[in-house]
Structure 1
Amino acid sequence: WASVASSFGAVWIADASTLEAVKKHLGQLQEKTGAVLGGKMLMVVEAFSHRPVAAFFDADAKRNETKWWQELQMRLPVGGLLITDMGFYGFEWFDTLTEQGKYVLTRQKAKVRYQVVRVLSSSSHYKDEIIKMGLHHTDPCHHQMRQVSVLWGQTWYHYLTNVLDPQQLSPQQVCDLYRRRWQIEDAFLLTKRLLGLSYLWVGGTNGVQMQVYATWIFYTVLNDLCADVAVALQQPIERISVEMVFRSLYFFQRALLQNPQLQLISWLVEYQGSMGLVKAVRRRHRRNAATSLDIWASALT
């Protein structure tokens, strides 16, 4: 990913998640009002280091992701690339980013009508095309977009970006980069299940925000610790288990009582095997890697 990182001012992943129900112990009032969701949060993380970049909160749990367009546009630097799901899809959004010299990568909607302007490259398993969207729309997409389609198994997957130059972002990089979007889903899972954000301790909006931001600050520190462990073990950060690093802190604290001279990183490296800090490469990962190799090998022949 070195070439991708050097081609963009930043490579970020953004997504929103609904908070769990607020735990209000108000007796009959709780029975009348029912469960009240704590709100909605939007998180932005770096694609390669997994480090959180920004956090946004709204007390309205039903807030549409598109209402965060302006905040994301302002935060993303010129030349930066933002990876999002289809919740942020919109012609106005794409045009604004293109005019500002900023980039986006997302999934293409199934029912969007478009016209192919130019085919950049293709094979039996993929297509790389420049397209024009919204031809019959009252407010069409004014700038051309690029659609990369990949046949994975029996299904075609379509990805959309305003990075029109395949030298800047190859079709394989488009597909593989979007697959990294799962990392932010993993971050939501860890903050909610592991760090306790699934239980909101207060009912007031201000208190919920304090808990949300405090949890993400702690997750940032934990993520930096995982990065240090990855460097020490000479492993990609994706192979380091955030959960097991977190759980190892309890055992380190116990060991520290016996030997105050212990250093955290060196201790984690020494006991990484018994603590399970490095994730195993599972069969589905090897199978996906083999499938990807077959697809893009065909593109070179």
Structure 2
Amino acid sequence: MGRHRAGRAGHPENAAAFGFTGRDGTNKSGNPQVRLMALIECGTHAIIDAAFDSIARFSEHKLARRLLASLRPGMLLLADRNFAGHELWGLVEATGCHLAWRIKKNLVLPPLWVLPDGSYVSVMPTPAEGQRLGNARFHGRTPARLPHGHLVRIIDYTVTVRSQDESAQVEKFRLATSLLDHRQAPARQLSQLYHQRWEIENGFAELKNRLRGAGFILRSKTPELICQEIYALLTVYQALCALKVHAAEQGEVDPDRISFTTTVQLARLTTAGQTAANPQVLCAARLEVVQELLNDLLPSRRDRRCQRLKKPPRNTFEAKRRDEPRPPSHVSYSLKVTGNPGHLSSPAKTP
């Protein structure tokens, strides 16, 4: 999921169509924004499908339902802990897609039976069943029957991060998966695989920052043209990902080692000279770009971490609200020479 600034803040059509950030979508500063959600391949960052709409009226869960048609049997869908829920889990599982989603650690999911790899099978209850079980726990009662819900496999694990100064940080994780057979999908293998979910963050960084440019605001003044701009960005991004994958296949390297920044730069340099070019010229240009990409490979991906810290504001001035009246622009000024500067110990001599 990502947010796009959706055009000029002063235009009422974009404000009405997309809304603003804030709990009720009525934040009184900044630009209208679009909420965009995408299905992205972990290895190539290629976009399988994307959906976007008003940030004020459409949550992540609502947009996720628009992507269900693009899920296929045999896929493994990774998602963070904001998505786990009985209804959405069932909709995704009905497509034949496998799931490995992070869930919140405070969810109470009693084990039905424990598997040899340390994972266990439980039930993700319906909302009504979850409330019933919660009341039973509060009053110290043991449920008389199994709850209604989805049969899931739970994997609890920890990740220890050691830095160069020998300090260690331990974080707990909990995964829920529809892969119930521990022999088909061992707990350790799934835990290591979930780390790949962060590739979608790299994909959004490529789309929003490296392709658009930092601070770029969609320029259109109508919602229809805003949508056209977003589709254009997604199309260009997909084409660049395809070029990266083609170069990786030619060089027999991991697509992670093909620089997206270099791909964008080369595409910009070569596209202007390909107007009305014939197929032979286009093929030769592509071969040249591929070779340059392979000559500028990134080093192998290293382990890293990013602190969840909010950047300090650039200034402390109060944000201007859209409904705040502007101060008068026609003013008059008066100037008065105050005389002897305070830092001088004696009056300056006059000639």
TM-score class, shorter: 0.7 to 0.9
Matched, 1:137 2:128: no
Local SS of the residue matching 2:82: helix
Q: TM-score, normalised by structure 1?
A: 0.74
Of 195, 205, 209, the match for 1:179: 195
Q: Give the whole-Å Cα distance in 2 for the aligned partners of 1:33 and 1:284.
A: 40
**1:206-285 aligned within 5 A:** 206-252=224-270, 263-272=284-293, 276=296, 278-281=297-300, 283-284=302-303
Matched, 1:149 2:156: yes
Matched, 1:192 2:192: no
Aligned partners of 1:200 and 1:208 also within 8 Å = yes
**Higher percent of residues as helix:** 1
User: Which of structures 1 and 2 has the bigger CA Rg?
Assistant: 2
Unaligned runs of 5+ in 1: 1-15, 288-301
Structure 2 CA distance for partners of 1:216 and 1:282, relative to 1, 3 Å: closer
Q: Give the whole-Å Cα distance in 1 for the aligned partners of 2:171 and 2:29.
A: 42
**Higher percent of residues as strand:** 1
Unaligned runs of 5+ in 2: 16-26, 134-146, 161-169, 276-280, 306-351
Q: Structure 1 vs Structure 2: percent identity of aligned residues?
A: 21
Q: What residue in structure 2 maps to residue 114 of structure 1?
A: 109
Structure 2 CA distance for partners of 1:280 and 1:147, relative to 1, 3 Å: same
Q: Give the whole-Å Cα distance in 2 for the aligned partners of 1:42 and 1:83.
A: 14
**1:51-130 aligned within 5 A:** 51-61=46-56, 63-122=58-117, 127-130=118-121
Local SS of the residue matching 1:121: coil
Q: What residue in structure 2 maps to residue 7 of structure 1?
A: none
Local SS of the residue matching 2:131: coil
Output one character per residue of 1:196-224: Cα deviation in whole Å (capped at 9) or x when no partner: 27421123221211111110011111000
Of 167-176 and 157-166, the range deviating more from structure 2: 167-176
Aligned partners of 2:72 and 2:95 also within 8 Å = no
Structure 2 CA distance for partners of 1:101 and 1:281, relative to 1, 3 Å: closer
Shift of 1:164: 0.9
Q: Give the whole-Å Cα distance in 1 for the aligned partners of 2:79 and 2:219.
A: 30
Output one character per residue of 1:110-157: Cα deviation in whole Å (capped at 9) or x when no partner: 2210111222234xxxx3221224464349661211112222112222
